[in-house]
Structure 1
Amino acid sequence: MRDALTLLDGLRAHGNDYSAVERAFGDRTGLELTGAGTGALDEVREPVSVVVATYDGRRALAGALAGLQEQTYRGFEVVVVDDGSDPPVERTVREAALTVPVTLVRCHANRGAATARNIGLLMAEGSTVVFLDDDMRAPPHTTGLLAVRQQHTDGCLFTGFRENTGPETFFGPQPRAARIERDWRWSSDRGGDRHLLLTADRSVPYPDRLSYQLVRESRFFKEFGHCRAIGFWDLPGMVVGHSVCVKRADALAAGGFPEEHFRGWGAEDLAFGAVMAARGHSVVPALDWVSFHLRHAGRHEPRAAQRASLERNFARYLEFLRLPLDALRPPRHRVRRLGGPGAGGISRYEAL
């Protein structure tokens, strides 16, 4: 009897050439799938939920919420998951004065990014879900262009880009658009340490160069897939948790972000990308989704400790890829309603 197909088997079996989807999208909308542009959004009807998981990120969260208030497409809600912040972020959410529906879920202990995102996924009411980090300020057309993409495609995961900036730009009046060429997937000289070799297929040769233009070299990710690697990276590595857009039903069927396998710094988004690609979803770069990312202190731990945490999570990632493809189940979490819509139109819940 043949062993059950694993996630790694699924990655090897599926390519990422979404050309047929791209042509059909262009025929229906007159837009480009990877860089749609800002017009032709009058017929968008796709309901969107923007999930923002936050942990002690009150300062940056204010800028992220300001970016959501500036969205030109208003057919969306915001779900903020407060993952045990001390003090809670409720005041920051109220002061943002968003004019779209807002749901706030409070976790009384820090449960990690994967769990917080999954709670947001379960609470989301939109058929399209956008995961956005609390230190990302999205451009005003983000929700509309992601809505039109998901409205006219099936089986696609869209991923965005970022430019690191200081507080003057992040919290300012946004006089310019963020620059995609500042994102490492567009132009990168990363490398040199073997722990950065993130490929699912560990038999690929170690890279002999350090400079890459991953979007262009992969023909907009179309030549990734089947575990093909370019330098240190393959298709799951192109899915970065700070900016991910999926259909809610697809994310739930895939089991959401894996909660039990990763702790500390990183890899839960890499694993989510692997699951989606192994299930045959296309990973598509949204070149017009470039957010400002607030450059801040981040983790207060020595570089050696950061590297050790990364290496532990990458080792768990390789073990995760050996799981049977059909073993993953939708996440399950219970919440209790605290009241709402209350002050500022916010519906409040606590995770149990």
Structure 2
Amino acid sequence: MPATLNEVLAATANDHRHITTTFTHHTGLDWHAPTPPQLGTDARLSVIIPACDTAHSLPAVLDALARQHTAATVEVIAVDDASTDATTELLAAHPRVDRAVRLHTRSGAGAARNVGVHLATGNTIVFLDADMVLRNHVLADIAARARHDTVLVGFRNNIPYLPDANGYPVVPPGEPDLDADHRVRWTPPAGVPMLYTGQVYPAAFVGRPLHDTRDFLDLGNGRPYYDWDLPRMVVTALVAAPRRAVLDVGGFHPGFDATGWGAEDTYLGATLIGHGCLVIPLRQARGWHIDPPDPAAVWTAKLAGVAPRIALYRQLCEQPTPTSRAADLADRADNLLRKAETLR
């Protein structure tokens, strides 16, 4: 019988030092340094944005993409997951959006991203949430480092939605705080079971997943860091992966539908690792992650549906690593596109 995905993860290292040191040797630039625009000239990036009722944040997100300083070829593809607010009109009107479609019925962020992957023409897919405002060097950071065998992980700094007089979200100046991301500075509560492992800690503490695992290197071979493991570091708020690998594993699994929240990006990360990709952080690739206008209600709804999705993730990891699934992804995307409205 073929090995399960869990067995493959346990046998797969994440030693990426040969990539980071070679990059520094060839460019004279630290792996984690903001990147001059001229590096990565030959790269072709497809930025995929799933959008569902995100009119509060979209203008700032798209404007930030328009301000990116990179010589790479960049296309922006947005997939509106049947929004009921002004998301559709914003995507149809914004000049930085190269292609946009609106799904007929709500299908979930994973399905929307798969449609974007199906439409993409770039070698590297950049998954970006519709509430992530990037600093102007981030696409250059990715373009200069993208490879056929790497998943490049960015980070987020959550901020509240504070609109100006026109409703435009106010974004702080300067660089987002790296420590604001839970994968960098993590403070689990005492006495509360963790979502993935069920671990319970007798006292609160401060964990440093990124630092303590040496930029995820020590998470190879299935090794955990408390409640964290390597697939959980692949958070599609901002992550880049080779398009060919995403297609081969079938993109986001259809079992993670529009019901509930969470785990679909973790499973994608696991399948890409199983495909042979190394997971490497880019500490300088950061964005301001704008909270929804009603964050407490949104998080209550999200957490209410997370348990069955984690259970599905565990179940899928006991099956063989998916491969040769590009045709399946194309079929699922085409089925959604048949009823979709073309916005741009």
TM-score grouping bracket, smaller chain normalisation: 0.7 to 0.9
Equivalent positions of 1:206-217 (< 5 A) are: 210-217=205-212
Equivalent position SS for 2:10? helix
* TM-score, reference length from structure 1: 0.85
Q: 1:328 to 1:111 in 2, by over 3 A?
A: farther
Equivalent position SS for 2:56? helix
Q: Give the corresponding residue for 2:141.
A: 145
Pick aligned residue for 2:313 from 317, 326, 331: 317
Equivalent positions of 1:335-346 (< 5 A) are: 335=337
Deviation at 1:72, TM superposition (A): 1.0
Counterpart check, 1:256 vs 2:251: yes
Cα distance between partner residues in 2 of 1:17 and 1:120:
30
Q: Is the 8 A contact 1:41 1:145 kept in 2?
A: no
Deviation at 1:348, TM superposition (A): 3.7
Pick aligned residue for 2:153 from 151, 159, 181: 159
Q: Is the 8 A contact 1:82 1:88 kept in 2?
A: no
Deviation at 1:316, TM superposition (A): 1.0
Pick aligned residue for 1:4 from 2, 5, 26: 2
Q: 1:306 to 1:97 in 2, by over 3 A?
A: closer
> Once structures 1 and 2 are overlaid, which stretch shifts more, 67-76 or 210-219?
67-76
Equivalent positions of 1:84-233 (< 5 A) are: 84-87=82-85, 89-98=87-96, 102-150=98-146, 153-168=147-162, 171-172=169-170, 175-192=173-190, 195-198=193-196, 210-233=205-228
Q: 1:172 to 1:309 in 2, by over 3 A?
A: closer
Counterpart check, 1:240 vs 2:224: no
Give the share of equivalent positions with the same residue, in percent: 28
Cα distance between partner residues in 2 of 1:129 and 1:19:
23
Counterpart check, 1:70 vs 2:97: no
Equivalent positions of 1:28-47 (< 5 A) are: 28-33=26-31, 35-39=32-36, 41-42=38-39, 44-47=41-44
Q: Is the 8 A contact 2:103 2:339 kept in 1?
A: no
What is the one-letter code of the residue matched to 1:185? R
Equivalent position SS for 2:64? helix
Residue by residue, what CA displacement relative to the aligned partner does 1:224-250 show, whole Å, maximum 9, x if unpaired?
A: 111111111111111112111011111
> How many matched pairs?
330
Deviation at 1:129, TM superposition (A): 1.0
Q: 1:193 to 1:320 in 2, by over 3 A?
A: farther
Q: Is the 8 A contact 2:195 2:307 kept in 1?
A: no
Cα distance between partner residues in 2 of 1:171 and 1:88:
15
What is the one-letter code of the residue matched to 1:257? F
Deviation at 1:171, TM superposition (A): 3.1
Equivalent position SS for 2:38? coil
Equivalent position SS for 2:222? coil
CA RMSD of superposed structures (Å): 2.6
Q: Give the corresponding residue for 1:342.
A: none
Note the residue ranges of structure 2 that are not aligned, 5 or more in a row. none
Deviation at 1:311, TM superposition (A): 1.3
Cα distance between partner residues in 1 of 2:104 and 2:339:
14
Residue by residue, what CA displacement relative to the aligned partner does 1:321-346 show, whole Å, maximum 9, x if unpaired?
A: 0111146612122135999xxxxxxx
Q: Is the 8 A contact 1:48 1:76 kept in 2?
A: yes
Deviation at 1:82, TM superposition (A): 0.4
Note the residue ranges of structure 1 that are not aligned, 5 or more in a row. 340-346
Equivalent position SS for 1:31? coil
Q: 1:174 to 1:44 in 2, by over 3 A?
A: farther
Residue by residue, what CA displacement relative to the aligned partner does 1:18-43 show, whole Å, maximum 9, x if unpaired?
A: 1112222222222233x132337345
